[in-house]
Structure 1
Amino acid sequence: MKVKILALILILFASTSISYAGSEKENIYKAGLNYIEGFYEGDSSKLKESLSTDLRKFGFWKEKKSGKFGKASWMKYEEAIAYADNVKAKKNFAKPDAPKKVEVMDYTDKIAAVKISAWWGVDYMLLAKHDDKWIIEEVIWEGPSLKAESTESDHTAVKRATLNYLEGFYEGDTSKLKAALRPTMFKWGYSLDKKTNTHKPGKQMTFDQAISLAERIKENKWFPGADAPREVEVLEVKSIIAITKVTASWGIDYMLLAKQGDEWRIDQILWAGVPAEKAGE
């Protein structure tokens, strides 16, 4: 009888865990859907619900005549809201058969990586959870093609840039960081308070601060142990944008990369600390 009761408790516990994970993913998905529907329907309320007021969004449009991508185009939060309002005012809604796909690529309890497929192309976005809401903080996009046009050499270069980032900090090697990071890169993250097991308020790291940290790591020999997690995962690569994931001693990093010229560099990073027992999972 005791065995049956124990088995029932375990089943109920497992069901609760699965349900929680499912609802978390659904909330992330909802934020992505608000983003695409906000632009498609001209519904600024959906954008306001899911976009950070400090939104950092940029991307590249491929010209039909030249077949080449133009310079990076930036969109602030206020510009996103204005765009949606304009769509509504002019009734310039997306066509009924327009692509409308949201993919939750990866997530932790604090940050997430999402892919959007829309009429204008593909967006990779990084989200963070604030209280109980998932908010879109960083976005990179390319258009108008939805088809993957990357090469094997692109995948290799993207992985190399991401690995240089990890090794640059682990080894205190500034040359690797300089090869991986664009000087204008933006890195934002949430460290974990080990006493309370909660995340601290977000904090930025600039390119210069990253280089300075690597120098101090080398000078003080703050190298991680041999068993420190060092996993690099290329989530996806398009023509000139990519999204990757790093699992390291400090936690999880999601990063957005762009190809300018023949070089892939990291442009945006969102990271969060995770409990030590989960860092290597």
Structure 2
Amino acid sequence: MKALYYLIILLFTVQFQLAAQEKEQAIKDVKQAAYNYIDTFYKADTTLAYNSVHKNVRKVGWWFDKKKGKFSDKSEMPFDKLIALAKRWNAKGNRANEKSIREVTVLEVSDKIAVAKVTAVWGIDYLNMVKTKDGWKSINIIWQSKPRFSLKD
């Protein structure tokens, strides 16, 4: 009877450790996919987008127009426009460099979905991700120019 008790404890311990390792790996993979998203634009490297952004992405956002003193209307960007923007946005290296802000905060990771916050020179993005056979991919992105305020203030 004691042997069965110890076997059950051992099985639960091993299962718990495997789940913890799987969670740690998922967090690392989500974080890397978010950094790949930033570097798609910083490095003008579209291969990173193909690795980290779902082809059915829905990206919407608002940029602040300093001349008008207000935010733009909603801007939508499907995958092909994201690729086109990535090719030209920092092609000359004058918008971002190795010292530019490049932060990722993983907010949630589950078996199939995750959420990460990205802070970059252009502002903030929230990436809703899905786990695919090819890894974690952003499928829904909402962004805005640098915020004038946040909950941290």
TM-score range, shorter chain: 0.7 to 0.9
Deviation at 1:217, TM superposition (A): 3.4
1:256 Cα deviation (Å)?
0.3
Q: Secondary structure at the match of 1:239?
A: coil
Question: Is 1:169–1:214's contact at 8 Å kept on the other side of the alignment?
Answer: yes
Change (3 A) 1:249 1:218: closer
1:180 pairs with one of 33, 52, 68:
52
Matched, 1:267 2:139: yes
One-letter amino acid matched to 2:125: D
1:210 Cα offset (Å) = 1.2
Structure 1 unaligned spans of 5+: 1-147
In the alignment, is residue 163 of structure 1 matched against residue 38 of structure 2?
Answer: no
The question of 1:191 aligning with 2:56 is answered no
Aligned to 1:256: 128
SS in 2 for 1:151: helix
- Alpha-carbon RMSD across the aligned residues, in angstroms, is 2.5
Distance 2:25 2:126 in 1: 21
Pair 1:218–1:270, CA change in 2 (3 A):
closer
Normalising by structure 1, we get a TM-score of: 0.43
- Contact persistence 2:90–2:96 (CA under 8 A): no
TM-score for both structures, normalised by structure 2: 0.76
Whole-Å Cα distance in 2 between the matches of residues 234 and 193 of structure 1?
Answer: 29
- 1:224 aligned to which of 96, 100, 104: 96
Deviation at 1:277, TM superposition (A): 9.5
Q: Deviations over 1:108-162 (max 9, x none)?
A: xxxxxxxxxxxxxxxxxxxxxxxxxxxxxxxxxxxxxxxx9x6211111111100
Structure 1 match to 2:75: 203
- Give the Cα–Cα distance (whole angstroms) in 2 for the partners of residues 229 and 218 of structure 1: 14
CA distance in 1, matches of 2:82, 2:100: 20
* Conservation of the 8 A alpha-carbon contact between 1:197 and 1:275: no
Cα distance in 2 between the residues matched to 1:223 and 1:201: 23
1:234 aligned onto 2:106: yes
- Corresponding position: 1:214 with 2:83: no
Tell me by how many angstroms 1:213 deviates: 1.4
Deviations 1:1-36 (A, max 9, x none): xxxxxxxxxxxxxxxxxxxxxxxxxxxxxxxxxxxx
Output the CA distance in 2 between the equivalents of 1:158 and 1:205. Answer: 22
CA contact (8 A) 1:173 1:218 kept: no
Task: Give distance in 2, aligned partners of 1:173 and 1:214.
Answer: 7
